[in-house]
Structure 1
């Protein structure tokens, strides 16, 4: 999974993903705003995350 960040917040989300998940677990990232993303894993399960107040939050 390779995804390019267009904002600092998206970059911070990408850093969090790399630290939190094993490589190749997340197969898709959809940026839903400059501070939020929808993550999809190999099983098709999704997780929404938001970068807020210097923290990535699962929502």
Structure 2
């Protein structure tokens, strides 16, 4: 089994791992004012790019 000749430095290890970080999602504001993820249908109003895509039921406040 092959073994490394020299210890990998912290700098080289960090450079190799630089692309392993979890990306932070880019939130946008829908036309209704809700904070949503980009390229997704708004869960509050059901629109995508200004077009109504799904019917969203309003939550019952009394129940």
Q: TM-score by structure 2 length?
A: 0.19
Q: TM-score by structure 1 length?
A: 0.20
- Pick the structure with greater CA Rg: 2
More RCO (CA 8 Å, sep 6+): 1
Give 1 or 2: higher strand fraction: 1
Give 1 or 2: higher helix fraction: 1
